[in-house]
Structure formats: C-alpha cells, structure tokens
Amino acid sequence: MFPQRLTPSDPHEVAPTADRAHAQASTDRPGGPSLALPATVIAPAAANSHGPSLDFTDLTDPIVPPQEGAQPSNAQTSAATASWAPSSAAEPVTRRSSVSLRRSAALPRRSYGGPARAYPSRAYPKQPRFHLRLIAFFAALFIVAALATVGGKVFLGRDAGDIPPVEETPTPVITIESQQPAPVYIPGPPDPSPDHPPAPVTEPAIEEALSANPLYLEEMAATTCAVGSIDLVNADHEAIQAHMNVFLDCLMAAWYPVVVQAGHTMPRPSVIVYDTSLETPCGLVSRVTAFYCPNDQQIYYDRASATTFDLELQGARYVSEAVVAHEFSHAVQYRTGILTAEQTRQSTSLSTEQADAWSRRLELQANCFSGLFFRSISASSPMTETDVAAVIGVFRQVGDEFTNRADHGSADSQEHWTRLGLAATSPGACNAFTAPDDAVR
C-alpha cells in the first residue's frame, strides 16, 4: 500500500511553516474551508539565519475562488506576490486570533475539499514506482519456482523424468438393472408327466436345500382368487373333481411366481379324486385322506376324507381346501429340492426317531406353507374367525396324538406352524429345518 498524503481538507493537516502550527478549518468562509491560526506570538528570528519571516498581519481578506475558465489578472498576481514578500524588519509578529491565509486566485484547485493551499516546499519520502514493484513481484515468483524445481530434485533424489506417469483410473460403468416383473401364472391343463427337478446330491447342496433355500428369500403377493364352497359330504365325484381343479388354479396363481423367481420351475399338478383303493406310481393306496406322489408329481384326494373329521368340521368352509393346500405344499417342496433333500436325510438316519424328526419338519413346513397361501387370498376370499378355526382344526386332527404316529408332529405343533403361515408373507417364515427341536415335536 502506498502512503497517502494529507490534503488541506483533512482535519489532521500539519501546516508546513517553520513553527509547525496547526491550522483549524473554518466552514463559514466562502470558497471552502480556510485555516484559522491561534493567537500566539512568534519569537523574533535572527536576521538572515533561516531566511526572512512571513508577515501574516495583512492576510485578512477572504479567499475568493476564481471563476471557471478565468485567468488571473496582473494585479492579482502582483498582490499575491507582494503578500508573500519577505519583511525587511525582524520584529516580532503578532498573529491574530482569526487570520485567514490568503490565496492567489491563480492557484490550482483540488477536486475535493475546497481550493488547494499553497505551502512552501516540503521534502516527502520518495515512493517506489509501481512498475518496479511489479518487476520485483515477478522476480520473486521466478525464484520460488526455480527453488521448487531444484528442491524437488535434491530432496526426492531423482529427476522429474524418473517420476512414473499417473495412470488414469477408468471411469466405472454403473449398470442399473431394471426390475423384472413377477411371472404370472396362466391357467391351463395339468401336466400329467412333468420333468423331475434336479435333486441335491452332495452334503452342502442338501444342507442348502433344507436350511438356506432361495425360496425362503421370496415374498408371496396377494392373490386374486375367489374360492367357492362345496358340500363335500353330499357332492358327487364330478362336482368334487371340478371344485378341486378350480381351487388348484388358485394355488398355482399364488405359488407359481414365488417358485419361478427362486430359480425353479413349477408345472401344474392335477388333483385325482378317488373313492376306492388305487394303484399309483407311489404304490397301492388304500383309503387315506390325501397324499402327494413325487413319482408322478400329482395330488390324490380321497372323496370320503371329509367324513374322517369331527362333525363340526365336516360342513365347515375350507376343510377340503386346507387338505389340498397341504398336499400342494409338498409339490412346492419337491420342485425346490426340499422334499428330495429331506428324503435323503431320512434314508441316512441312524434310527427311526431321527427319521421321524426329519419327517416332522417337512410336514410342519407344509402346514406353514398352507397358512401362507390362505393369507395371500384373504383379500379376494375373506376368511372369518370361524374359517380360520376350521383350517387349524383340520391340521390339529391329523396330529400324532390322533394317528398314533410320530412323523407329522403334535397337534400343538400343527397349530403353531399353521398360525406362523397365516401371519407371514414370505416362505422364509416357514423354515422348519432351522427351528429348535422343541418347536417340531
């Protein structure tokens, strides 16, 4: 920053006289502020020691600013010269209390603060030129750059040419996978002889199929399906067969997207209604409620199955549907590798108790899958509390306490896993193969 010189209009202006007396601006004079000198007595100066003194006794006229463009007259020039003439006598000069410093009209004007004051010349420190500072700045910049270059070689111990070039990192390509719409089941005729799915053979594959099946990661969406009602006790064979075929389409609509999205296929099985002993690919079948045969992947339903339940359940809604939903859940287990892996575990068990324990986990998971299905259709086919109680009652009555067996689970376990399915939206809630032993008794 360059130092700024004080102007006459600055209140801190120092008068450049021999005694350095301060001047006070007077704002009541025309033409701008004037200098008011205090009434003091200047001691007489020695004759011709520092030059003649200034006589301020006649400086009483106000300063009249010149008009724009006017040239000073000879008389004004002479008067201005005479007012600054040195005094011939070296007597004391008495300053008046309100003495105005008279100015010549020919003196230059400032652009601010009133007319300029004429003072004797005063030595000020010489300021450096702007271009010299600019040259010094660029010289310093050059020196810093040179030092940085030399310092890099000295401290790094190698030339700049030895520094390997910076490899450009390739810009990663972000691929946003579009979400594929869920597959939709299109109703069609059943497949009488579908291909068999690949069976897990190795121990890791068997363990994954049972405990960490991809099916457990899927969600079952709400399914639009209107389930009709039927009198199973009095309906004939053809009416029950037609009712079961329609109901199977509801099961396929709910389960088909889930199984396919888990990476498996789901052919449509058929429901074969029978009322006598029947020879099947799974062997000779006598009168039982219902079963799923993995050899031909079909569901078999005994027409008289409804009469095996208590009287209050025989005329209830969703009784036969709960039985078929359970058997269809075995079809889902087979297509996803769960059923085959469980059969491998049973065949390699060291005892009947151990084999029954594996069977209970399979059957209780099928109950849970059934409850999951009924929840998915509950919006289009609402279930009352009576309907829910009937479904649970059907599964309780096939508990091991009523069959004198130990391979399906107790009545309490049957109810527990059915309720789990009714409250869930994902098959993962039905993973009975990782449940504690107490939950699969």
CA distances from 357 to 220, 298, 308 (A): 28, 25, 26
pLDDT of residue 160: 44
Based on the fold, state whether residues 241 and 105 are members of the same structural domain: no
What is the pLDDT averaged over residues 266-282? 93
- What the block records as the tokens of 11 is 């209140």
Give the residue from 85, 104, 120 where a domain finishes: 120
Per-residue pLDDT of 4-39, as tens digits, reads 444 444 444 444 444 444 444 444 444 444 434 344
Name the percent of the chain lying above pLDDT 90: 48
Q: Is the pLDDT of residue 294 over 60?
A: yes
- What the block records as the tokens of 19 is 């005694």
Based on the fold, state whether residues 227 and 338 are members of the same structural domain: yes
Q: Among 8-22, 138-152, 170-184, 238-252, whose mean pLDDT is lowest? A: 8-22
Q: Which domain holds residue 395?
A: 203-440
**Are 375 and 424 within 8 A, CB to CB?**
yes
Based on the fold, state whether residues 115 and 232 are members of the same structural domain: no
Give me the residues paired with residue 24 across strands: 36
Angle at 112 between CA 108 and CA 114, to 5 degrees: 60
Based on the fold, state whether residues 211 and 93 are members of the same structural domain: no
Q: Is 24 helix (H, G, I), strand (E, B) or coil?
A: strand
In a domain, residue 194? The reply is no
pLDDT of residue 100: 42
Nearest in space to 354 (alpha carbons), one of 440, 282, 414, 412? 440
pLDDT of residue 135: 77
Q: Is the pLDDT of residue 156 over 80?
A: no
Using CB atoms within 10 A of its CB, is residue 408 exposed (0-12), middle (13-18) or buried (19+)?
buried
Per-residue pLDDT of 159-176, as tens digits, reads 445 545 555 555 555 554
Residue where the block lists tokens 């099961």:
251
- What the block records as the tokens of 21 is 């007396």
**Are 185 and 257 within 8 A, CB to CB?**
yes
Mean pLDDT, the chain, integer: 75
pLDDT of residue 148: 66
d(CA 384, CA 390): 10
Give me the residues paired with residue 34 across strands: 26
Q: Which residue has the higher pLDDT, 187 or 178?
A: 187
In a domain, residue 137? The reply is no
- What the block records as the tokens of 162 is 């030895």
pLDDT of residue 165: 56
Per-residue pLDDT of 73-84, as tens digits, reads 444 444 444 444
Based on the fold, state whether residues 269 and 366 are members of the same structural domain: yes
pLDDT of residue 311: 84
In a domain, residue 160? The reply is no
pLDDT of residue 211: 97
What is the pLDDT averaged over residues 402-406? 90
Based on the fold, state whether residues 221 and 113 are members of the same structural domain: no
Per-residue pLDDT of 298-355, as tens digits, reads 999 998 888 888 888 888 889 999 999 999 999 999 999 999 999 999 999 999 999 9
In a domain, residue 304? The reply is yes
In a domain, residue 147? The reply is no
pLDDT of residue 330: 98
DSSP state of 183: P
pLDDT of residue 341: 97
Angle at 332 between CA 380 and CA 290, to 5 degrees: 85
The one-letter code for the residue type at 366 is: A
In a domain, residue 112? The reply is yes
Give me the long-range contacts of 187-191 (CB less than 8 A, separation at least 24). 187/249, 187/252, 187/253, 188/268, 189/268, 190/245, 190/248, 190/268, 190/269, 190/270, 190/298, 191/267, 191/268, 191/269, 191/270, 191/297
Based on the fold, state whether residues 213 and 116 are members of the same structural domain: no
Q: Is the pLDDT of residue 244 over 80?
A: yes
d(CA 281, CA 294): 9
Rounded to an integer, what is the distance from CA 435 to the centroid of its chain?
36
Confidence tier at 152 by pLDDT (50, 70, 90): low
Q: Is the pLDDT of residue 102 over 80?
A: no
Rounded to an integer, what is the distance from CA 402 to the centroid of its chain?
56
In a domain, residue 236? The reply is yes
Per-residue pLDDT of 184-241, as tens digits, reads 999 889 999 999 999 999 999 999 999 999 999 999 999 999 888 888 888 899 999 9
pLDDT of residue 421: 97
Q: Where are the alpha helices (DSSP H) in 294-384?
A: 311-314, 319-335, 338-347, 352-376
Based on the fold, state whether residues 377 and 234 are members of the same structural domain: yes
Confidence tier at 140 by pLDDT (50, 70, 90): confident
Maximum separation of any 2 CA atoms in the chain, in Å: 160
CA distances from 82 to 56, 86, 90 (A): 12, 9, 17
Give me the long-range contacts of 81-84 (CB less than 8 A, separation at least 24). 83/58, 83/59, 84/54
Q: Total structural domains in the chain?
A: 2
Neighbouring residues of 247: CB distance < 8 A, sequence distance ≥ 6: 227, 271, 321, 324
- What the block records as the tokens of 118 is 């004429």
| Number of residues in the chain | 441
Based on the fold, state whether residues 220 and 331 are members of the same structural domain: yes
pLDDT of residue 226: 86
Sign of dihedral through CA atoms 288, 293, 295, 298?
positive
Using CB atoms within 10 A of its CB, is residue 278 exposed (0-12), middle (13-18) or buried (19+)?
middle
Q: Is the pLDDT of residue 271 over 70?
A: yes
pLDDT of residue 173: 52
In a domain, residue 343? The reply is yes
